[in-house]
Amino acid sequence: MTDAPYRLAGRRVWVAGHGGMVGAALVRRLAREDCEILTVGRAEVDLRRQSDVEAWLADVRPQAVVMAAATVGGIQANDSRPAEFIYDNLAIETNVVHGAWRCGVEKLLFLGSSCIYPRDAAQPMAEDALLTGPLEATNQWYAVAKIAGLKLCQAYRRQYGCDFITAMPANLYGPGDNFDPASSHVIAALLHKAHEAKTAGADSLAVWGSGRPRREFLYVEDLADALAFLLQNYSGEAHVNVGAGKDIAIGELAALIAEVTGFAGDLAFDPSKPDGTPRKLLDVSRLRALGWAPSTGLRDGLAQTYRWYCENALA
């Protein structure tokens, strides 16, 4: 087992899932670390197929792996496609973690999500709240898969001495997000809908649910920086929460998004859509004690994401 600190310089680092929002941000961040970044496209390697993953690992032999590959989506996608969310994520995790052990990967970082915690966990949610109560129903399939991934890393550490670590990020947003309103998370959905409403001269913006649930949002460039930090400075069985340290009500978020996008109409809350879990705020004291803190405020992050959307997502 390698002990922290782990030096990325000169290492071959596979970013699994480099095409997604998190993977792409990691590739940008790791470019500053003097390591060799390895990536492979979906058409070449389907991470849900064990033989594909084993062949790729045997071929490229990475020394470090970051698992940013996952089937992800917002509350409606999670709720309506449970089989995909549980199967894809379990398959990706077992294939990559087992394959990494077999080919002698020195360091692996697995990414979970704050939805692994019980629906009614005390706030802010500390790492030891895991498995102390029932999960939120709308994303339980994804949460169960992510809990299994965390446990896989712990098991391979215990039995084989692998330096596999796990991080649990808050709700993420930023450049490269999925802006399709049917499957996206709330920030991308509302940026898109507010932009469309402004452009169409509409007088209201549809916001799902009551507006009362509270969420913690972390800018993806900050997440990538935290992951580069953890790879180099953390080695341990316990998972580490990665968050901004504050949350906001969805209604307030929608008002802020209206401001950032220049939409001047009303917010129309739609109670026929689910609220999901009432509050998700991570206790980030473990990560703070290790020496990392985020640097992007929500308003700045939203403005940068909106700029990215206008330049890249409006085809």
Choose which of 121, 150, 162, 186 interacts with ligand GDP (CB under 6 A).
186
Whether the CA torsion 227, 233, 236, 240 is positive or negative: it is: negative
Shortest reach from residue 260's CB to ligand GDP, in Å? 15
Shortest reach from residue 53's CB to ligand GDP, in Å? 28
Per rule CB under 6 A, count of chain residues that contact ligand GDP:
21
Residue 141, interface with ligand GDP (CB under 6 A)?
no
Choose which of 207, 226, 240, 258 interacts with ligand GDP (CB under 6 A).
207
The window from 25-33, 34-42, 91-99, 184-192 that contacts ligand GDP (CB under 6 A) reads 184-192
Please state, in angstroms and rounded to a whole number, the distance separating the CA atoms of residues 121 and 131. 10
Backbone Cα Rg of the chain? 19
Q: Could you tell me the CA-to-CA distances from 268 to 121, 183, 192, 208 in Å, in that order?
A: 29, 20, 15, 8
Please state, in angstroms and rounded to a whole number, the distance separating the CA atoms of residues 291 and 283. 15
Q: Which of 117, 142, 156, 309 is catalytic?
A: 142
**Per-residue 3-state assignment (H helix, E strand, C coil) for 294-307:** CCCCHHHHHHHHHH
Q: Between 229 and 308, name the residue whose CB sits nearer to ligand GDP.
A: 308
Q: Which of residues 37-66 bind ligand GDP (CB under 6 A)?
A: none
| Measured torsion, CA atoms of residues 127, 121, 25, 107, in degrees rounded to the nearest 10 | 30
Q: Between 53 and 218, name the residue whose CB sits nearer to ligand GDP.
A: 218
Residue 208, interface with ligand GDP (CB under 6 A)?
yes
Query: Known catalytic residue: 309?
Result: no
User: Per the structure block, which two tokens stand in for 3?
Assistant: 């002990």
Residue 166: count of CB within 10 angstroms of its CB: 27
User: Per the structure block, which two tokens stand in for 237?
Assistant: 């069985």
Choose which of 11, 29, 185, 286 interacts with ligand GDP (CB under 6 A).
185
Q: Applying CB under 6 A, which residues contact ligand GDP?
A: 74-75, 115, 139, 171, 181, 184-186, 189-190, 207-209, 213, 215, 250, 273-276
Instruction: Kindly list the catalytic residues.
Output: 142
